[in-house]
Amino acid sequence: MNLPPDDRDPAGTEPPAGTEPPAGSEPQTFKPSAGGEPTAASSGYSTHGDDDAPETSRAEIAPPSGSGDGEAPTASWYGEPSPQPRETATAWAGAAGTASLRPPGAPGTSAETPTPAAQSSEAPSVSSSVPPIAGDAEQEPPIRMTRRQRFRAWRFAPVVEVIATIALALVLAESVQAAVVKPFVIPSQSMEPTLLPGQRVLVNRLAYDFGGLPQRGDIVVFHPPSSLACAVNVPINEPCPRGVGSHASDYFVKRVIGLPGDRLSIKNGHPVINGKELTDEPYITPCSDSTTCEMPHTIVIPRGEYYMLGDNRGDSDDSRYWGPVPLSWIIGEVFATYWPIDRIGFF
């Protein structure tokens, strides 16, 4: 049924068609309160049967954020929004940035829904924070690889590095061997029992390069004379006083016995230095041949030269037959042996 014109709400809305108000009740409308917020006010129908019954309590409903002054939307009898003028719905939608409070399917929806133009013009702008999609950004130019980086990226780089490391190690070892320490193999039995044939020793090539001089008792490696014969004719029972002036490319290992300026002779295989026989030689093999073990004639060792004898005095080809050796022919001092294992040690 339709309400009398004077009992309608200020917006001029009506309940949905075919809806009957409850018996003895009055229609309820929503009006804006002071400050622009809608309030629930009772007018028209009352929930009680008589006209002087107490009106229903007021209930304020806050409009959407940012709403301005204007008439609030009215509610229907069963909690659904009732039709309202287009101007009111548009104002509310523009202020709140949303559509009308009327749900879809309610009467007047098509006429009261704000247009997209109104929404876009009234709604506040929202900045987009969506991250860029991969591939949208400009691709950076390729990084230019250095020569070392390109080499490391090569598939055969590890093999080349191993070979280069081995080669470098060999070069360093050869450099050290040529300048500092050099290994030698004992070729004969002339130094028995101290050094055996095949035994390997290490020689300090710097031992006499910085002002040091060989001392009596040192075991040294040197170049022998190019001719293993005395430079002067001497009797068989006389030590050779002078060797030839050139050396061979071979290497000999002997013990230093006579120093420059010493007066030397041989008695029972032991050297007699400046009239004193050196009998304290625990490292020698005693001499048994009287021809090589007895040389009573005394000689003077030239300045800058050294007299070499083998520890195996009866079986050693040494300075007794081809003379003393200049300092410049001496390679270095034997300071250690590393093979065989049971003879590893230092001198």
Of 247, 230, 226, 220, nearest to 320 by C-alpha is: 230
> Which residue do the tokens 């999609």 mark?
133
Rounded CA separation 321/318 (Å) = 6
Instruction: Express each pLDDT in 254-281 by its tens digit.
Output: 999 999 999 999 998 899 999 999 999 9
Which pLDDT score, from 0 to 100, does residue 133 have?
Answer: 55
Could you tell me which of 241, 236, 313 has the C-alpha nearest to residue 270? 313
What pLDDT sits at residue 190?
A: 95
User: What three-state secondary structure class fits 328?
Assistant: helix
Q: 């039709």: which residue's tokens?
A: 83
pLDDT of res. 40 = 43
Q: How confident is the model at residue 231 (pLDDT cuts 50, 70, 90)?
A: very high
More confident site: 285 or 289: 285
Pick the closest to residue 266 from 289, 245, 232 (CA basis): 289
Over residues 120-147, the mean pLDDT reads 59
At position 303, the amino acid (one-letter code) is: R
Cα three-residue angle 6-9-10, rounded to 5 degrees: 95
Mean pLDDT estimate for the chain: 74
pLDDT tier for residue 335 given thresholds of 50, 70 and 90: very high
Contact between residue 15 and residue 39 where contact means Cβ atoms under 8 Å apart: no
pLDDT in tens, 96-133: 444 444 545 445 444 444 444 444 444 445 444 555 55
- CA angle in degrees (0–180, nearest 5) for 307-311-315: 95
pLDDT in tens, 15-61: 555 555 555 555 554 454 444 444 444 444 444 444 444 444 444 44
As a whole number, mean pLDDT of residues 82-90 equals 48
State the Cα–Cα distance between residues 329 and 222, nearest whole angstrom: 6
- High-pLDDT (> 70) share of the chain, %: 59
Q: Fill in the DSSP letter of residue 7.
A: G
Task: List Cα–Cα distances, 198 to 3, 22, 47, 180, 192, in angstroms.
Answer: 134, 129, 129, 22, 12
Q: What is the pLDDT of residue 185?
A: 95
Share of the chain above pLDDT 90, in %: 43
Task: Respond yes or no: is residue 267 known to be catalytic.
Answer: no
Checking if the pLDDT of 136 tops 70, the result is no
Looking at residues 196-225, what average pLDDT do you find?
95
- pLDDT the model gives residue 64: 47
For this structure, is 42 an active site residue?
no
Asked if 314 and 293 count as a contact pair (C-beta separation under 8 A), the reply is yes
Taking the C-alpha atoms of residue 44 and residue 14, their distance in angstroms, rounded to an integer, is: 13
Q: pLDDT-derived band of residue 165, with 50, 70 and 90 as boundaries? A: very high
Tokens of 115: 């247009």
Residue bearing the bigger pLDDT, 214 or 110: 214
Annotated catalytic residue within 100, 190, 265, 319: 190
**Bridge pairing between strands 263-267 and 270-273:** antiparallel
202 membership: H or E segment, kind and range: strand 200-204
- Per the CB < 8 A criterion, the answer to whether 248 and 223 are in contact is yes
Threshold 0.85, pTM exceeds: no
Q: Which of 254, 265, 316, 319 is catalytic?
A: 254
Longest dimension (CA), the chain: 169
